[in-house]
Structure 1
Amino acid sequence: MKKLPRRFYDRDTTQVAQDLLGKLLVRRSDGLTRVGRIVEVEAYLGPHDLAAHTSKGLTARTRAMFGPPGHAYVYLIYGMHHCMNVVTEADGTGAAVLLRAIEPVRNIAGKTSGPGLLCKAMGVTMQEYGHDLCSRDFYIAEDPAAAPPAIVARPRVGVDYAGEWAAKPLRFYIEGNRYISKK
């Protein structure tokens, strides 16, 4: 598996989101390598995007999202579920891509359709906050056997509070994949 280079993440967030589909999320821990194919994502475009956590500015919580591209922004939702984003664009931009669902490839048990379930299956917790996704133990890689996926664009899930930003088609998934979190 060929790990994605930093320059992959240092691009337009919407493009990175679509290009992440079909890539492999790889996590090595406790002598086990877990691998899942990314099948659903959402793009969050920075402080002007009212659905993005960075719309409230730079805080202790959002610091990683404003950091350099190719790092993990992990947060806790409802006090119990971890969610993982991939930081995109230049340092200071505040943009990222939420990983919503993966298709199990190797050593993954349990459901993976939804950002909290994805993190649970991959063992992602707040310890991965700010983690460099160009590392050897937790990264995203090309799938040499994958064909370019047919991509569907829809509005993001659960961001009704964001006004006009709620309706923007910034959720992307692989058409027909049975692991997506919501039709």
Structure 2
Amino acid sequence: MVITQDLPATWEKLPAAFYERTDVVTIARELIGKILATRFDGKLTAGRIVETESYNGVVDKASHASGGRRTNRTEIMYENGGVAYVYLCYGIHQLFNVVTNVKDTPHAVLIRALEPVAGIEQMLLRSFKAVHGFDLTRGPGNVSKALGIRTHHTGVDLRGDEMFIVDDGFSYAASLVIATPRIGVDYAGEDALLPYRFVVKGNPYVSGKKLKG
């Protein structure tokens, strides 16, 4: 489906089939280079995804659904893929995740960083920043702040008009997309070492320590 109106004609919303696949790690890898966009009150903000982390449901000790845990907060993870899961971290940061797989399989992908492509002035206003620096959308808390994403957006259909992810035909060279362990999940023991994080090598918006080599 091609999005028209005030959006570029090359932008196509990702279909349900993209999100409902069984391999969350593959989905996290393939989200790199796609564009995450919001359009609240007619204001479009968007950025190209340059960092993701995958969370592999009940068997993943780093996942909110580890061991089949179900709470009011995480119940959305058990829905069909293609909806938003937004949670509060440290009582401050609102973190946006893409729910994947099918009903009752709680997979999710955390969007950790974007490279802005539209609505930078609006992003700056939301982020209380005067100047566009790389920290505008570096790190998952800053992503949500810049795009206006809040916890009440949990459950929003990512094929709708308020929040959506599109493919505009662009892709990074395979050599630039690097798999690494996830950030801040030391509590997960051996699962903390899994190469479930994907980044665009050398991109200044990517969070965490710079990759060597």
Structural RMSD (CA): 1.2
Aligned to 1:172: 198
1:90 aligned onto 2:102: yes
**1:144 Cα deviation from its structure 2 partner:** 2.5
How many Å separate the matches in 2 of 1:147 and 1:38?
A: 11
1:29 aligned onto 2:55: no
How many Å separate the matches in 1 of 2:12 and 2:163?
A: 13
- TM-score (norm. length: structure 2): 0.83
**1:47 Cα deviation from its structure 2 partner:** 1.1
CA contact (8 A) 1:153 1:169 kept: yes
How many Å separate the matches in 2 of 1:160 and 1:103?
A: 27
How many Å separate the matches in 2 of 1:148 and 1:3?
A: 22
CA contact (8 A) 1:22 1:148 kept: no
- Deviations 1:84-143, CA, capped at 9 Å, x for gaps: 110111111111000000001111334110000100000000121111101122100002
How many Å separate the matches in 1 of 2:197 and 2:44?
A: 28
Aligned to 1:54: 65
- Deviations 1:68-87, CA, capped at 9 Å, x for gaps: 10000100001111001101
How many Å separate the matches in 2 of 1:30 and 1:37?
A: 21
- Whichever residue aligns with residue 150 of structure 2, its letter is T
CA contact (8 A) 2:34 2:170 kept: no
1:115 aligned onto 2:140: yes
Give ranges in structure 1 of 5+ residues lacking alignment: none
Give ranges in structure 2 of 5+ residues lacking alignment: 1-10, 125-135
Aligned to 1:152: 178
**1:148 Cα deviation from its structure 2 partner:** 4.5
- TM-score (norm. length: structure 1): 0.96
Percent of paired sites with the same residue? 46
CA contact (8 A) 1:42 1:172 kept: yes
- Size of the aligned set, in residue pairs, is 183
How many Å separate the matches in 2 of 1:68 and 1:103?
A: 28
Aligned to 1:71: 83
How many Å separate the matches in 2 of 1:140 and 1:167?
A: 28
189, 202, 210: which one aligns with 1:163? 189
